Amino acid sequence: MPNTDAIPQEVKARVKSLRQAIEKYRYDYHVLDRETITPAALDSLKNELVKLEHAYPALVTSDSPTQRIGGKPLPEFVKVIHKVAQWSFNDAFTEEDIREFDARVKRFLLSRLNLDSKPSYVCELKIDGLKIILEYEKGMFVRAATRGDGKVGEDVTGNVKTIEAVPLRLSRDIDIIVEGEVWLPKSRLTTLNREQKKAGLPPFANPRNVAAGSIRQLDPKISASRKLEVFIYDIAGGSERKPDTQIDELETLRDLGFKVNPHFKQCVNTEAIITYWEEWQKRAHKEDYLIDGVVVKVNEQNFQEVLGYTGKAPRFGIAFKFPAEQVTTVVEDIVLQVGRTGVVTPVANLKPVSVAGSTVSRATLHNEDEIKRLDVRIGDTVILQKAGDVIPDIVSVVKELRLKKSKPYIFPTYVSACGGDGRIERIEGQAAWRCINKNSFAQLERKFYHFVGKHALDIEGLGPKIIDLLLEHKLISSFDDIFTLKRGDLLQLPRFAELSVDNLLAAIAKSEIVALPRFLVSLSIPQVGEETAEDVAAHFKTLEAIHAASFERLEAINGVGPIVARSICDWFSDKENSRLVDRLLKHVRIQKTVAPTSGIFSGKTFVLTGTLSSLSRDQAKARIKALGGEISESVSKKTSYVVAGGNPGSKIEKAASLGVPVLSEEAFLKLL
């Protein structure tokens, strides 16, 4: 037995906890078809375990989840001993992982063939469904089995026969074993969930779960009603010699009558693989099946045979996963951040982790109530989620990995960044806390960041670092001070040359003409964001009318409730705020508000979700408003369309449940 005495105790404990959690979630997912954690989050836990075992090889055991392939067969089905062992691919998550895979392949071929081999590769889409093994004798379909644990699967022949894409007789009378993926079309899931709703039943979670559950039905009629699809991608064995290349193998499968995904591509090097991977991250959402990555295989069959297999995976292939929208990480601390309105927001400092293509080390916890709902604690392992261009969010805690000494987080009553005595108070009727002192430096700093920001005055080149410099040198203390800055003031600052000073002064001058909604946003009125500012400006037309508006008139505006109305009234009735506005109007001219142009979108409300590739979300909103449409952040029965870009969030499911039409980016652009 390997000696583990020198390994830190906390590492041993973490490995043990990870194995227990992974085994639980793997059993739920692969054996019971119950998704208690997303595949992406489970991959993240597995990846952490793989790294720890790689760093401490003495901890590797034969029963570790990293050494196992699948789940156990369900007892209700007849067991099938596979004639060809079933493998699963190792995972790659980054460009560097793929380059290292290529280097490993070439090193291994050099060691075995004693020559400098230059293999090519084939990229195939990794379909997120259920792996299936089909067996034919003399061209006739005889058996279908699930992968199971790699050695023993489940006989699901009757259910697979109901899939129209599976040929019952091949074009040639050969013996062959092939492998593929059963999947449910995303459009079919929408229809099934509509039927579930009518029947008063809960909706299905995702296409993968429906595909797995349908194949494991004891009644083939249920499987047939689901209208499943299949892609075949590999010849595992048979009476004929395998084709010379992976490309030829896919063509052979197609010639025999199997449905093969058409988007495979031969790549001569790793840069071509990465380009294909990046391209399909953008295109994946347009297909009617779930795609969670790219499978990369050595193209040449003779090289595949030389490379062979490790204990659990082929050396000639790897699964190049798309950036995960859900990952796991550890909460290292919870800190309180003071915003421009004095509201105190709890923020989780995280062990850095890559999610949806970017490294994240912080995530907002929103407020005290959210911390209590999640029961998130310092030291917890959490599931972090990011959909499209949405800010990462902590969605749940993996409580199986919680430290024994962890304690619930207690919201403090003192925050030093609030200044003065640092006391904070909970806002009546809300979940938020705020500084009692409303003039702290932290608030002033953030108010300035917001005032010059993209959605307010949008002063190009006046970013946080320059704002900090101006505050530090006491050149500004109020918003209107920005418009009184002179060349001599700026030239005395470090790293400021004449050209950069002239550019900044020109940008400030350009911002002196501003639309009313942007001016309202810039003032940091609590509860007033872009949409509210648009609604209020469109209703009152002038700043003077807003200043004089009563609570009742404000509350009557569509989209403005009592909390927002009270906040606007209170802000404008404060004498210091009124004096600030007067000072600003000496430098800033507010453009007359023009009612939205009537057009094809008049009376229609749009909700945007996911990432649009051809225009930014702000540009899309502007185009909709220019044609008379309205924007909403949430889907309701009043929503006319949901526009879905790449990596859309849960708004798609909400739209499907309410029968709201969903437009792809292409359809939206045509409508424009």
Active site residue 351: no
- In the 3-class helix/strand/coil scheme, how is 372-439 assigned residue by residue? HHHCCCCCCEEEEECCCCCCCEEEEECHHHCCCCCCCCCCCCECHHHCCCCEEEECCCCCCEEECCCC
Known binding residue 418? Answer is yes
**Could you give the CA distance from residue 364 to residue 523 in angstroms, rounded to a whole number?**
24
406 among annotated binding-site residues: no
Is 296 strand, coil or helix? Answer: strand
Phi first, then psi: give them for residue 220, nearest 5 degrees: -60, -25
Q: Does 147 count as an annotated binding residue?
A: yes
Beta bridge partners of 609: 644
Question: How far is it, in rounded angstroms, from Cα 210 to Cα 205?
Answer: 8
User: What letter represents residue 490's amino acid?
Assistant: L
Distance (Å, whole) CA 551 – CA 568 = 8
Assign 348 to helix, strand or coil.
strand
Strand order in the sheet with 265-267: 91-92, 317-321, 291-298, 121-127, 265-267
The catalytically annotated residue of 24, 46, 79, 126 is 126
Q: According to the 3-state scheme, what is the secondary structure of 162-208?
A: CCCCCCCECCCCCCEEEEEEEECCHHHHHHHHHHHHHCCCCCCCCHH
- Which tokens sit at 316? 């000639």
CA 577 – CA 447 distance, rounded (Å): 13
Cα dist from 346 to 338, 363, 570, whole Å: 9, 9, 26
88 annotated ligand-binding residue: yes
**Is 124 annotated as ligand-binding?**
yes
Cross-strand partners of 136: 141, 176
CA-to-CA distance for 293 and 324, rounded, in angstroms? 10
- What does the alpha-carbon distance between residue 394 and residue 348 come to, in Å, rounded to a whole number? 9
Query: For residue 53, which phi and psi values (nearest 5 degrees)?
Result: -70, -30
Contacts of 616 (CB under 8 A, 6+ apart): none
Please, what is the end-to-end C-alpha distance for the chain in angstroms?
Answer: 68
- The verdict on whether residue 592 carries a ligand-binding annotation is no
Q: Which residue has the tokens 């310092």?
A: 378
**CA angle centred on 10, ends 55 and 376, rounded to 5°:** 110
Single-letter code of the amino acid located at 292? D
Give φ, ψ of 298 to 5 degrees.
Answer: -60, 130
Question: 169 a known binding residue?
Answer: no
SS3 of residue 289 by DSSP: coil
- Residue 89, marked binder: yes
Nearest to 336 by CA among 443, 436, 414: 414
Residues of each annotated binding site for NAD(+): 88-89, 124, 147, 181, 297, 321
Binding site listing: 88-89, 124, 147, 181, 297, 321, 418
- Please give the positions annotated as active site: 126
Per the annotation, binding residues for Zn(2+) are 418
